[in-house]
Amino acid sequence: MPTPNTFKVTIYTPEKLFGTFEAVSLTCNAPDGELCVMRDHMPLLMAIKEGVMRIRTPEKVLEVYTDEGTVFVENNDARVFTDICVWADVDLDEVRERMKRLHEADVESIRHYKEHAVKLARLIADVQTKKTPHL
């Protein structure tokens, strides 16, 4: 149960739920500067940039390194969605290399999707004109 001046922060990655925290504040890197979210913040949907995110709890300040992502705030519940989230004291060069590999995989997936979309469009056009499909 949150104390009167705290709110819930939950961080999600595609691989796992990174964690849920009782926070006094959440400081994120927005495209045009830092943004600090506190209890009773108005509803917000915001993009975040790669960098260190600070979660101030009643006991201490936690620092996590995140990739680009999105923060959704509503009803004293902040949800962070990012591809990568690690504690900020890890080797950031290793994290950046991992992010690079993930982004390269995304580019390859998009290329495959576009190739298959073109093939599907050709098949649909062939069926509509009653031609023999190109495979």
Give me the pLDDT at residue 96, please.
Answer: 73
Topology, domain 7-87: ATP Synthase; domain 1 (2.60.15)
Give me the pLDDT at residue 107, please.
Answer: 78
Give me the pLDDT at residue 114, please.
Answer: 85
- By the 10 Å C-beta count (0-12 exposed, 13-18 middle, 19+ buried), 123 is classed as middle
Residue 122: band (very low, low, confident or very high) from pLDDT cuts 50, 70, 90: confident
Q: Where are the domains of the chain?
A: 7-87, 91-135
Tell me: pLDDT of 1 over 80. Answer: no
Give me the pLDDT at residue 110, please.
Answer: 82
Contact 19, 57 (CB under 8 A): no
Give me the pLDDT at residue 41, please.
Answer: 94
This prediction has a pTM of 0.68
Kindly give, in sequence order, each residue whose CB lies less than 8 Å from that of residue 134, ignoring residues fewer than 6 positions away.
119, 122, 123, 126
What distance in Å separates the CA atoms of residue 26 and residue 7, rounded to the nearest whole number?
9
Contact 54, 72 (CB under 8 A): no
Give me the pLDDT at residue 2, please.
Answer: 54
pLDDT, tens digit, 9 for 90 and up, residues 51-73: 899 999 999 999 998 889 999 99
pLDDT, tens digit, 9 for 90 and up, residues 17-30: 999 999 999 999 99
Give me the pLDDT at residue 77, please.
Answer: 96
